[in-house]
Amino acid sequence: MDSLMFLIEDARRKLNDSAKCKSLTDPEIVDMSQNLDRLLNEFYSMTESGTLAS
C-alpha cells in the first residue's frame, strides 16, 4: 500500500508541475492525468475490496 501511495503522490506532483508549463490538453498532460486516474482507481478498488488495512 505504501508503494501505491508513493506512486499516486509522485504522479500527482509531476502532473501539477507539468500543468504549470503546458496546456491541459497537451497529450503529455492527458497521459499523465490518465496514469494518475489508473492509480487512484487501483487504490479505491483495493479500499473497496478490503485489501488495504484501515
What is the pLDDT confidence band of residue 52, given thresholds at 50, 70 and 90?
low
Q: For residues 19 and 43, what is the distance between their CA atoms, to the nearest angstrom?
A: 23
Over pLDDT 90: what percentage of the chain?
81
Q: Where are the domains of the chain?
A: 2-13+23-47
pLDDT of residue 53: 56
**Average pLDDT over every residue of 28-40:** 98
Residue matched to cell numbers 487512484: 40
pTM, two decimals, is: 0.84
Q: Round to whole Å and give the CA distance between 9 and 49.
A: 22
Q: For residue 10, what pLDDT is reported?
A: 98
Dist. CA 52–CA 54, nearest whole Å: 6
**Residue range 5-26, pLDDT digits in tens:** 999 999 999 999 999 999 999 9
The predicted pLDDT at position 16 comes to 97
